Amino acid sequence: MEYIVLSIPLFFLLMGIELAWSAWSGRRVYRLNDFIANLGCGIGSQVVGAFTKAVIFAIYLWTYDHVRVFTLPRTALTWVVAFLLVDLLYYWFHRLSHEVNFLWAAHIVHHQSEEYNLSVALRQSWWQGLFSWWFYLPMAVLGIHPVLIVTVGAFNTLYQFWIHTKAIGRMGPLEAVFNTPSHHRVHHGSDPKYIDRNHAGTLIVWDRLFGTFQREEEEPVYGITTPLASWDPVKANFHYWGDLFGLAARCTRWSDKLRVFLKPPGWRPTELGGFQGPRAKDHATYHVFDTSVDLGTRVYTGAQFTVLLVVTSLFLFRQQDLASWMQGAVALLIIWWVMNMGLMMEGGRRVLLSEAARIAAFTGLGSAAANATAIAWALGAVLVVSVLSAVHLALIALRKHRS
Per-residue confidence (pLDDT) for residue 210, from 0 to 100: 98
**Cα dihedral 132/216/265/270 (nearest 10):** -150
pLDDT digits (tens, 9 = 90+) for 366-399: 666 655 554 555 555 565 566 666 666 666 666 6
Q: How many domains does the chain have?
A: 3
Report which residue type is found at 157.
T
Burial category of 33 from C-beta neighbours within 10 Å (exposed 0-12, middle 13-18, buried 19 and up): buried
Per-residue confidence (pLDDT) for residue 276, from 0 to 100: 92
Return the higher-pLDDT residue of 350 and 292: 292
Instruction: Please tell me what DSSP assigns to residue 220.
Output: P
For residues 155 and 25, membership in a common domain is answered with yes
Is 287 within a domain? no
- Dihedral angle sign, alpha carbons of residues 297, 299, 303, 305: positive
Report which residue type is found at 170.
R
pLDDT digits (tens, 9 = 90+) for 277-334: 888 888 888 999 999 998 888 988 998 898 899 889 888 988 888 888 889 999 999 9
Is 352 within a domain? yes
Give the confidence band of 110 by pLDDT, cuts at 50, 70, 90.
very high
For residues 35 and 157, membership in a common domain is answered with yes
For residues 247 and 320, membership in a common domain is answered with no
Return the higher-pLDDT residue of 205 and 397: 205
- Cα–Cα distances in angstroms (integers) from residue 272 to residues 72, 246, 251, 278, 335, in the given order: 52, 12, 8, 17, 36
Closest to 202 measured CA to CA, from 310, 85, 105, 106: 85
Of these ranges, 176-190, 296-310, 343-357, 365-379, the one predicted with the greatest mean pLDDT is: 176-190
For residues 32 and 175, membership in a common domain is answered with yes
Residue 2 reports pLDDT greater than 80:
no
Q: Which phi and psi (to 5°) does residue 181 adopt?
A: -55, -40
Instruction: Please tell me what DSSP assigns to residue 175.
Output: G
Residue 117's domain comprises: 3-210
CB 299 within 8 A of CB 286: no
Give the confidence band of 363 by pLDDT, cuts at 50, 70, 90.
confident
For residues 108 and 147, membership in a common domain is answered with yes
CA–CA separation, 323 and 369 (whole Å): 10
Which residues, listed in sequence order, are joined to residue 189 by a DSSP beta bridge?
222
CB 142 within 8 A of CB 133: no
For residues 332 and 260, membership in a common domain is answered with no
For residues 195 and 305, membership in a common domain is answered with no
CA–CA separation, 349 and 84 (whole Å): 51
CB 333 within 8 A of CB 67: no
First to last CA, the chain: 51
CB 344 within 8 A of CB 355: yes
* Mean local confidence (pLDDT), 145-174: 96
For residues 144 and 189, membership in a common domain is answered with yes
For residues 265 and 302, membership in a common domain is answered with no
For residues 267 and 195, membership in a common domain is answered with no
